[in-house]
C-alpha cells in the first residue's frame, strides 16, 4: 500500500474474526519488525508468537481482561532485552534503548499488519509478572507491548490528533 494511505487507514481494532493468520503474511510482518532501526543495530528485543488458545486466554487476563486478545487468532509479544543493550550502552541501554528498540520494532509490525489487510491494536496494559509466567520468559526480559492480530470484525473509528501548532514548537519552547 502507498505509505500515506497506509498510515491514514491504520486504526486500532478490538473485534476480531476467528480466521487464522496466513503464515506468509505472518512472515512478512515479522520481517518488517526485523527491519526496524535499533540502537547500535543491537536489536535489543525479543518477539514471541502466540497462537495457542489457552495461552491467548491467559494473556488476555494478564492484560486487565481485555477479551479481544483471546478473540484474535494470534498475538505478538514484544519484550525488551536490557542485557543485550547494556553490554554496549550501559545504563542508557538498559533503561531506555532496549525499550525503544522493542517499541520501534512493534510499530513496524503494526504498519506491516495493516499493509497485509489485517488489524491490530497496541496493548500496553500488561501485568509484567503474569505475562512472564505465562510465556516462560527469561527473568531479565521486560514485556513492552502485545499486538493481537487478525481480520477486523468491526469498522474502526479514526481518532482525532492534536493540532500540529499545539504539538510542534519551532526553535525553542
Ligand atoms: C503505549 C500504548 C499502550 C496502549 N495500550 C492499550 C491497551 O492496553 N488497550 C487498548 O485497547 N488500547 C491500547 N492502546 C491503543 C491506543 O488506545 C490507540 O492507539 C489510540 O487510542 C489511538 O487510536 P488509533 O490507534 O486507532 O489511531 C495503546 C497504545 C499505545 C501506543
Convert the pLDDT of each residue in 46-93 to its tens digit. Answer: 999 999 999 999 999 999 999 999 999 999 999 999 999 999 999 999
Is 89 contained in some domain? yes
Query: How many whole angstroms from 171 Cα to the centroid of ligand 1?
Result: 30
In the chain, how many domains are there? 1
Write the burial class of residue 83 (CB in 10 Å: 0-12 exposed, 13-18 middle, 19+ buried).
middle
pTM for this prediction:
0.98
With a 6 Å cutoff on the Cβ, whether 103 touches ligand 1 is no
Q: CB–CB of 61/34 below 8 Å?
A: no
- Note whether residue 163 is domain-resident: no
Residue 10: CA count within 13 A, CB half-sphere: 19
Q: How far apart are CA 53 and CA 93, in angstroms?
A: 35
The tens digit of pLDDT for each residue in 105-120 reads 999 999 999 999 999 9
> What is the whole-number distance in angstroms between the Cα of residue 123 and the centre of ligand 1?
6
Angle, helix 53-61 to helix 128-135, in steps of 10 degrees: 170
Q: Buried b vs exposed e over 17-39: b needs ≥16 C-beta within 10 Å?
A: eeeebeeebbeebbebbeebebb
Residue 145: inside a domain: yes
Bridge partners of residue 150, in order along the sequence:
119
DSSP state of 73: S
Ligand 1 close to Cβ of residue 124 (< 6 A): yes
Measure 120 CA to ligand 1 centroid, in angstroms. 10
User: The domain that contains 140 carries what CATH number?
Assistant: 3.40.109.10
Q: Domain range spanning residue 71?
A: 3-155
Amino acid at each position: 500500500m502507498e505509505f500515506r494511505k497506509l498510515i491514514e487507514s491504520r486504526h486500532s481494532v478490538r473485534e476480531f474474526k476467528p480466521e487464522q493468520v496466513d503464515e506468509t503474511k505472518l512472515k512478512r510482518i515479522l520481517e518488517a519488525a526485523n527491519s526496524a532501526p535499533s540502537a547500535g543495530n543491537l536489536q535489543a528485543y525479543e518477539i514471541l508468537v502466540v497462537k495457542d488458545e489457552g495461552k491467548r486466554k491467559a494473556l488476555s487476563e494478564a492484560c486487565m481482561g481485555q477479551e479481544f486478545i483471546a478473540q484474535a487468532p494470534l498475538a505478538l509479544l514484544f519484550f525488551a532485552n536490557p542485557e543485550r543493550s547494556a553490554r554496549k550502552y550501559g545504563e542508557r541501554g538498559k533503561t531506555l534503548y532496549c525499550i525503544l528498540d522493542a517499541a520501534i520494532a512493534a510499530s513496524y509490525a503494526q504498519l506491516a499488519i495493516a499493509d497485509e489487510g489485517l488489524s491490530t491494536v497496541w496493548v500496553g496494559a500488561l501485568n509484567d509478572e503474569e505475562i512472564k509466567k505465562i510465556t516462560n520468559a527469561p527473568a531479565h526480559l521486560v514485556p513492552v507491548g502485545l499486538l493481537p492480530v487478525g481480520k477486523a470484525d468491526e469498522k474502526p473509528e479514526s481518532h482525532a490528533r492534536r493540532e500540529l501548532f499545539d504539538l510542534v514548537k519551532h526553535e525553542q519552547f
